[in-house]
Amino acid sequence: MIQNNYFNENEDLQLQFKEIIDWEEVVTAYEHGFADHKKYQESGDEALAYAPSNTDEAIENYRMFFESAGEISGTVIAAHAAAMDKEGLKYADGKVTFPAEVLECFEKAREAGIQPYGISREHGGLGMTAIAQSMHMEMIARGDGAFAIAMGCVNLAETIERFGDEDMIKQWVPKMAAGEICGAMALTEPNYGSDLSNIRTKAEKDENGNWRISGAKRFITHGCGLGDIPSVILTLARTGSTTSGAKGLSFFLVEGKDVFVAGVEKKLGLHCSPTCEVVYDNSPATLIGKEGFGLVKYAMGMMNVARQSISAQSMGIAQAAYSEAKKYASEREQFGNTIEHIPAVRKMLDRMERETAAMRCMLYEAARTIDLYAWRQHHMEKEGVSDREIRKDETIRYWEKLANFMTPLTKYYTSELCNSIAYDALQVHGGAGYTEDYDVARIFRDARITNIYEGTTQLQMHAAIGGVTAGMSATGPVRAYIDENLSKFTPSEHLLKLKENLEAAIEAYKNLKDTETRETNVFEVVETMARFMNTMLLERSLTKVSDAGQRAQREKIARDYAVDSLAITQANLIKLQMAPAAEPAMATA
Ligand SMILES: Cc1cc2nc3c(=O)[nH]c(=O)nc-3n(C[C@H](O)[C@H](O)[C@H](O)COP(=O)(O)OP(=O)(O)OC[C@H]3O[C@@H](n4cnc5c(N)ncnc54)[C@H](O)[C@@H]3O)c2cc1C
């Protein structure tokens, strides 16, 4: 693996951090009048000591934090990634043993204080905006995609902070922030994966009125904890009848000591990340929030955060793939020259460069939509504003709708592109890429999970399609958002043509003859939206780049991305416009 500082040495990331991201906007949304700093001055509460007093200070804090995270990921984690993968996990009698390097990396991250990125300062966390969290996860995942999940699991404390009661928060969140407790989320069962509304794990009250859970969960990451660090398992279970569907599901906290880990999966990738089978046998459980809201409110809320985290993981893995391929191509000689000069190889590397730049724009924009509603909502809740009033708040309504659309759109796009970039990166390595001598083999294997877990790409399509159709109606929030963006710069001809393709694709999609035909063609219309969106975000970013050389380079990236997008969206349009008529012909073929 390339070993350097994954923050300082990444030009595109630097450009995003220094010029493209509007930190003023998101820091203002997060800090709420820099309330934590004021509280610190009044109370002297050490947990709030590093709370910034203005935006510049917040940016400086982020810079120091990212430099530290970039250093640990780019030297310590990246240095151990191959060994952690090779050694993998061992399982015996309910206990999982980790490679020593995993525990060492975890300890290093804990010592450096870069771990609790998703937790508020009040409870021992770092208090970071969603954009900053995504940036952090991206860097860690570049070092090692599997290890990054361990850090993500600690930050499941965010869900407890958001939905748990005061006692639960006090009992668990500070310990998770300190890295003394790991988190796990238990939704999937052997017979129910995408179809979560039908899960069977049962929660019932015992004679003392305490909740008990029985059943089995599959594929539970860190259900076993992490070394000697135990887990709390956020568990979805049925409190209603077997036919009660989503409304009969509730959400619980279960301690790892109260379940049995029946095994860990042997997997294609993520070899040092434990994917556990967890058995609940009358296990004590504490209800989170209200009965009946387990899936629709709490698990969905948790998954939205986790989806953004997987988008950032995809970004990091894609960056690792691209960087390793670029390095290899600059060293490997064939026909008397390094292969980076061969047009066919150059073409693959150029595509990786523009796709990673586009993914990064999209990742941070999705995070921005979260930043612009979630903290406002959080502060209003803290101030005792009623749910009814919060639901009426126009700013929250607008950005929440956009976040609910951008999160699945981004998860689909970044995870699919992470795979295709890893595929090309391996191709650039030729036969060497197919051996375990080079990191790209591991990167390729690890990439493969990103478009499966936290909801497969097909499920992300379901979640995003409403934003494409209703969101693009005359008064829809996505249309308003796009119009607002397009009014801020002069769109290229390519972007305007892409917009035409998008409008035509939506029209054609809406005109498809029935639900089944629409479900068959959902990918084409959602992909068209993603390609338009990313071209727009790339062009918007050009207005922020001050250095002429960097701007010229980025203009080329944006133009080439737009050309790819025109070709893809044109093909999608043909498929969508031909769909109803093509169906009988395809059936006879
Ligand atoms: C390494 C790993 C870690 C994981 N970690 C966790 C964890 O920590 N916690 C947890 O709860 N789960 C976890 N999972 C489970 C993961 O979220 C599921 O595997 C995933 O949601 C898909 O469910 P499934 O495997 O049952 O596939 P299925 O639901 O059986 O899907 C199979 C195929 O059918 C398609 N499909 C299914 N339904 C539809 C539909 N309605 N429309 C279109 N296509 C559809 C899917 O896209 C897929 O292609 C993990 C899985 C893995 C492999």
Establish whether residue 455 lines the binding site of ligand 1, counting it when its CB lies within 6 angstroms of any ligand atom.
Answer: yes
Establish whether residue 453 lines the binding site of ligand 1, counting it when its CB lies within 6 angstroms of any ligand atom.
Answer: yes
pLDDT at 589: 43
CA of 195 to the centre of ligand 1 (A): 9
Establish whether residue 449 lines the binding site of ligand 1, counting it when its CB lies within 6 angstroms of any ligand atom.
Answer: yes
Question: Counting atoms of ligand 1 from 1, which one is nearest the CA of 223?
Answer: 8
Tokens 């009033």: give the residue: 389
Establish whether residue 456 lines the binding site of ligand 1, counting it when its CB lies within 6 angstroms of any ligand atom.
Answer: yes
To test ligand 1's pocket by mutation, which of 231, 305, 314, 452 has the most ligand atoms within 8 angstroms of CB? 452
The answer to whether 221 and 276 have CB atoms below 8 angstroms apart is yes
CA of 351 to the centre of ligand 1 (A): 29
Tokens 């002429």: give the residue: 548
Q: What residues does 238 pair with on adjacent strands?
A: 202, 249
- 3-class state of residue 348 by DSSP: helix
Which protein residue has the closest C-alpha to ligand 1 atom 17? Answer: 453
Establish whether residue 412 lines the binding site of ligand 1, counting it when its CB lies within 6 angstroms of any ligand atom.
Answer: no
In this structure, what token pair is assigned to residue 495?
């972007």
Which protein residue has the closest C-alpha to ligand 1 atom 9? Answer: 220
CA of 349 to the centre of ligand 1 (A): 31
In this structure, what token pair is assigned to residue 359?
């993914």
Establish whether residue 89 lines the binding site of ligand 1, counting it when its CB lies within 6 angstroms of any ligand atom.
Answer: no
Which protein residue has the closest C-alpha to ligand 1 atom 43? Answer: 458
CA of 215 to the centre of ligand 1 (A): 19
* Pairwise CA distance, residues 168 & 160, whole Å: 7
Establish whether residue 461 lines the binding site of ligand 1, counting it when its CB lies within 6 angstroms of any ligand atom.
Answer: no
pLDDT at 573: 98
To test ligand 1's pocket by mutation, which of 191, 218, 219 has the most ligand atoms within 8 angstroms of CB? 219
In this structure, what token pair is assigned to residue 286?
């504490």
Quick: pLDDT tens for 56-110.
999 999 999 999 999 999 999 999 999 999 999 999 999 999 999 999 999 999 9
CA of 192 to the centre of ligand 1 (A): 8
Question: Counting atoms of ligand 1 from 1, which one is nearest the CA of 454?
Answer: 17
State phi, psi for 21 to the nearest 5 degrees: -70, 135
pLDDT at 304: 82
Is the Cα torsion angle 541, 324, 145, 424 positive or negative in sign? positive
pLDDT at 78: 98
Question: Counting atoms of ligand 1 from 1, which one is nearest the CA of 194?
Answer: 29
CA of 575 to the centre of ligand 1 (A): 27
* Pairwise CA distance, residues 259 & 276, whole Å: 11
Tokens 């969960």: give the residue: 217
Establish whether residue 186 lines the binding site of ligand 1, counting it when its CB lies within 6 angstroms of any ligand atom.
Answer: yes
Establish whether residue 523 lines the binding site of ligand 1, counting it when its CB lies within 6 angstroms of any ligand atom.
Answer: no
Question: Counting atoms of ligand 1 from 1, which one is nearest the CA of 193?
Answer: 26
**Contacts for 246 with CB less than 8 Å, ≥ 6 apart:** 196, 197, 295, 296
Establish whether residue 151 lines the binding site of ligand 1, counting it when its CB lies within 6 angstroms of any ligand atom.
Answer: no
- 3-class state of residue 283 by DSSP: strand
Establish whether residue 465 lines the binding site of ligand 1, counting it when its CB lies within 6 angstroms of any ligand atom.
Answer: no
Averaged over successive runs of 10 residues, the pLDDT of the chain (589 residues) comes to 98 98 98 97 95 98 97 98 98 97 96 95 96 98 97 94 96 97 97 95 97 98 97 97 94 98 98 98 97 93 90 98 98 98 98 98 98 95 94 96 97 98 98 98 98 97 97 98 97 98 97 95 98 98 97 98 98 94 48
CA of 90 to the centre of ligand 1 (A): 24
Which protein residue has the closest C-alpha to ligand 1 atom 45? Answer: 458
Establish whether residue 310 lines the binding site of ligand 1, counting it when its CB lies within 6 angstroms of any ligand atom.
Answer: no
C-alpha distances out from residue 395 to 361, 371, 376, 401, 402, Å: 22, 11, 9, 10, 11
Establish whether residue 302 lines the binding site of ligand 1, counting it when its CB lies within 6 angstroms of any ligand atom.
Answer: no
CA of 456 to the centre of ligand 1 (A): 6
State phi, psi for 461 to the nearest 5 degrees: -60, -45
pLDDT at 205: 97
- 3-class state of residue 159 by DSSP: helix
Establish whether residue 194 lines the binding site of ligand 1, counting it when its CB lies within 6 angstroms of any ligand atom.
Answer: yes
Which protein residue has the closest C-alpha to ligand 1 atom 12? Answer: 188
- 3-class state of residue 98 by DSSP: coil
Write a three-state SS string for 378-441: HHHHHCCCCHHHHHHCHHHHHHHHHHHHHHHHHHHHHHHHHHHHHHHHHHHCHHHHHCCCCHHH
pLDDT at 583: 52
Tokens 């025109």: give the residue: 566
Establish whether residue 452 lines the binding site of ligand 1, counting it when its CB lies within 6 angstroms of any ligand atom.
Answer: yes
Establish whether residue 187 lines the binding site of ligand 1, counting it when its CB lies within 6 angstroms of any ligand atom.
Answer: yes
Indicate the Cα dihedral angle 139, 140, 141, 145, nearest 10°.
160
Tokens 């870069």: give the residue: 114
In this structure, what token pair is assigned to residue 8?
């300082």
Quick: pLDDT tens for 321-335.
999 999 999 999 999
Question: Counting atoms of ligand 1 from 1, which one is nearest the CA of 455?
Answer: 21
Which protein residue has the closest C-alpha to ligand 1 atom 50? Answer: 219
Establish whether residue 219 lines the binding site of ligand 1, counting it when its CB lies within 6 angstroms of any ligand atom.
Answer: yes
* Pairwise CA distance, residues 269 & 166, whole Å: 39
The answer to whether 212 and 204 have CB atoms below 8 angstroms apart is yes
